[in-house]
Amino acid sequence: MPNANRTRALLAAQKVRVRTDPTPEEETKLTAEERKAIYAPKSAVAMIPYRAPMPVRVVKTTAKATGWGLGIFTGRLGGILVGESKQGFRS
């Protein structure tokens, strides 16, 4: 648990303004075009420029799901075979 002096020092450090921070007089207002460029809704293609095309994403997702399914199937089948081998294959 921090003591009072440490808390006071942390709060004072947060209030200190760095010289490189712009003062309110130096801040400029955005023009309408700049505001529109920043805040206007963007298409998904513009937001994610390096996203793979839809067929590639479908193939990758299908391959992952198939891999998981085969892994689960193989694990269960392996478990059954190991359980049977403990009892003996010839019995």
The structural domains of the chain, with segments of one domain joined by +, span: 52-91
69 close to 61: Cβ distance less than 8 angstroms: no
pLDDT in tens, 30-42: 888 988 888 888 7
DSSP 3-state assignment of 52?
A: coil
pTM of structure: 0.41
For range 67-83, the mean pLDDT: 93
Residue 53 Cα to chain centre, angstroms = 20
